Structure 1
Amino acid sequence: MKEEREAESIDVRNPSTFVSHLPIHQDGSCNGLQHYAALGRDRQGGSEVNLLPSPFPADVYSSVAKRVEKKRLEDEKSNDPNVKELAVALRTALPDSVPRKVIKQTVMTTVYGVTMYGATQQIKRQLKALEIDNEQLGRFAAYLAHKTFASLHDAFTSSMQLKDWFRCCARSIVSLMRPVEWETPLGLPVMQPYLKLQKKHNKLCLLPVMMKQVNAFPPNFVHSLDSTHMMLTSLHCHRLGITFAAVHDCYWTHACHVDRMNVLCREQFIHLHKQPLVQQCAKVAIYSSNSNFHLS
């Protein structure tokens, strides 16, 4: 049936008269990094994830892979024999440049709190799929995970500093035995549910779990902005009679409405990030912890 409809669409003389019910997908360019770049007014990082005008679409995964390969080439000339040996051994195992797919998942999940251990496991799975020697998998994966993190900090300097600042805010709040709370730009109250029951003064109290609260705040805050952007786009599509559906950062509509939805999506992203979101976050942190958080 699907093949018959595709054949009909190709044979029709005037494509604009062909009735299509298939949703057309418009996927984000690593949305987490887009939000970080916009929050931190990070021009360099923004250019990597298509926030700035460009004659060609940017591919952040290929860009980071090139940075990783550059660092590996530099290590081949290192004065440290161990570093040099590892870089050369990796070159033997991967004669071409570091493949994009090897580091893609790590780049995607960095903004959502992936640890060095988690990144190493992700890359290890990719290297295993490339049939790299099992005895070398562990050290190659750890090396590439470290280089991927370093490359992301090079490409998204302001964004990564902002991520660290979010963690600092969360740590100060939780140190006063309070869970991290905030309100999304649409007015939805959010409280992180990472709590534990503890007996205090003969009473059972719900107390925040420090590490979970701190580590979860940056990704949860960005998720809340991502969902706000989706909701704003959905509301404006509904107002204009445009059918809208979405899965995470992938927006769908009918073929006839794709161009209009693309404009709405960008307009609502700009509208969202014109608000002083970081400053509002600082005010919440100051109110919750009675501390000062300087934005440099």
Structure 2
Amino acid sequence: ALGTALSPQGTGLAKALIKFKRGVKLGKNGFTHLCVHAAGVFGNDKVSLQDRVAWVLQRADEIIGTGTDPDSYRDFWRQADKPYMFLAVCEELAECILSSTKEREEFISHIPCAQDGSCNGIQHYSAMLRDPVGAVSVNLMDADIPKDIYLNCADKVIEFINYGLKYEQTFNGKEWIPAKDIDTVMQRGWLEFTVRRDATKKPTMVIPYGGTKISCRDDCRLYLDKFTKKARDDDPEYRNPFEILKYLDENQKAINTQTYAITMLHHLVWKALDEIVIAARTAMIFLKKITQVIVNDGKHGNMLYWDSPTGVRVYQDIKDTKQNRVTTYLEGTIKLTLQEDTKKIDKRRMQTSISPNFVHNLDTSHLQMTTCTASDYSIQDFCTVHDSFATHAGNCDLL
């Protein structure tokens, strides 16, 4: 058993400290999977599997040095996206690289090598709907180089910005309209600041789990704040392109240019999602409509249920709540507000909850079915985080 501080769901350092007690021989392809894992935690995970292995072998000297004398090679391994996880795998790789092919196959590995899903919620919807477009974007179809739906969305946003600049238009959340001077300046500002995949990752990821325009706007604000802060760490005088602008509205009041820029970006991100996440959104609309019919019908007691792929019946029964004020006289007067369920169905929350609950159920079913099937094939050791399945490198082919 692991504590909360040391778990597969913990920080990069916590994950790096975790090894399987039982070791498994690398076998024929285990070394390849160990290399793929190393390249992935370093950050080189957007190329083919063969290129990831080549990347490791091209840096054999640095990896051997990291695994045997990490202090001397600190400048190398600290460049990794997940430096401590990279350091951990280098300890095994160092010994493997120096071994013969036969010795590598006999090497006993304890490192969990993860195989991650790509935007798991959209993967589920794409698979259920047999959607070839969505399947390609989230790596359900064979491809030498993995697709990146977050990067695709960011590229689409940049495409919209360039369109707006070319035709002097701006998107107001509903339609393209003639751009004002402030719109053109903001568009140029976003091109200067650059819309990275970080700007679109969270909004895209949470779409199947009930993401909204409001949450998308909040994520865009966090993106701007995060990268502004990061730039200020290097240059305390740095100001992003929107902080230095001064504009007045029609009432001659100062416009909050930061908020204006965030609003522009979130409109474009949401429009990009409309064009990229098509089939999944159709399914979510269908689920909401089904829920609306059931909760308004009353014939089934307003309760919604479905059977999961594992055979478990899932019930969704969300009631309205009422607030009760409670006054106590412990340590002085304290007033508490307690929420209590009523017998009346909460129709709004029933509709907004169905998509995330349905997809979360598919996530858990997929995890259970995968681990149970793997157990049938004698895979006994797992580290799992939502859509990430980690086992020994020697068992990755089987998984």
Shared fold (TM-score, shorter chain, > 0.5): yes
The residue number in structure 2 matching 1:101 is 198
- Answering whether residue 312 of structure 2 is matched by residue 188 of structure 1, we say yes
Query: What secondary structure is seen at the aligned counterpart in 1 of 2:320?
Result: strand
- Paired amino acid for 1:227: T
Q: Distance in 1 between matches of 2:259 and 2:99?
A: 55
The residue number in structure 2 matching 1:162 is 283
Residues 157 and 269 in structure 2, CA contact (< 8 A), matched pair in contact too: yes
Which residue of 213, 219, 241 maps to 1:122? 219
Q: Distance in 1 between matches of 2:110 and 2:318?
A: 43
Q: 1:187 to 1:154 in 2, by over 3 A?
A: same
Which residue of 98, 113, 119 maps to 1:30? 119
Which residue of 240, 265, 272 maps to 1:151? 272
The residue number in structure 1 matching 2:56 is none
Query: What secondary structure is seen at the aligned counterpart in 2 of 1:125?
Result: helix
Q: Distance in 1 between matches of 2:113 and 2:125?
A: 27
Residues 203 and 216 in structure 2, CA contact (< 8 A), matched pair in contact too: yes
The residue number in structure 1 matching 2:95 is 8
More helix per residue: 1 or 2?
A: 1
Q: Distance in 1 between matches of 2:129 and 2:180?
A: 34
Segments of 5+ residues of structure 2 without an aligned counterpart are: 1-15, 18-66, 69-90, 170-176, 229-239, 244-255, 323-340
Which residue of 359, 366, 370 maps to 1:233? 370
The residue number in structure 1 matching 2:130 is 41
Q: 1:211 to 1:90 in 2, by over 3 A?
A: same
Q: 1:113 to 1:192 in 2, by over 3 A?
A: same
Which residue of 343, 350, 375 maps to 1:206? 343
The residue number in structure 2 matching 1:248 is 386
Larger Rg, first or second structure (1 or 2): 2
Residues 192 and 213 in structure 1, CA contact (< 8 A), matched pair in contact too: yes
Q: Distance in 2 between matches of 1:163 and 1:78?
A: 34
The residue number in structure 1 matching 2:154 is 65
Residues 73 and 87 in structure 1, CA contact (< 8 A), matched pair in contact too: no
Segments of 5+ residues of structure 1 without an aligned counterpart are: 199-203, 262-296
Q: Distance in 1 between matches of 2:196 and 2:216?
A: 15
Q: 1:12 to 1:160 in 2, by over 3 A?
A: same
CA displacement 1:257-284 (0-9 Å, x = unmatched): 01110xxxxxxxxxxxxxxxxxxxxxxx
**What TM-score do you get using the length of structure 1 for normalisation?**
0.79
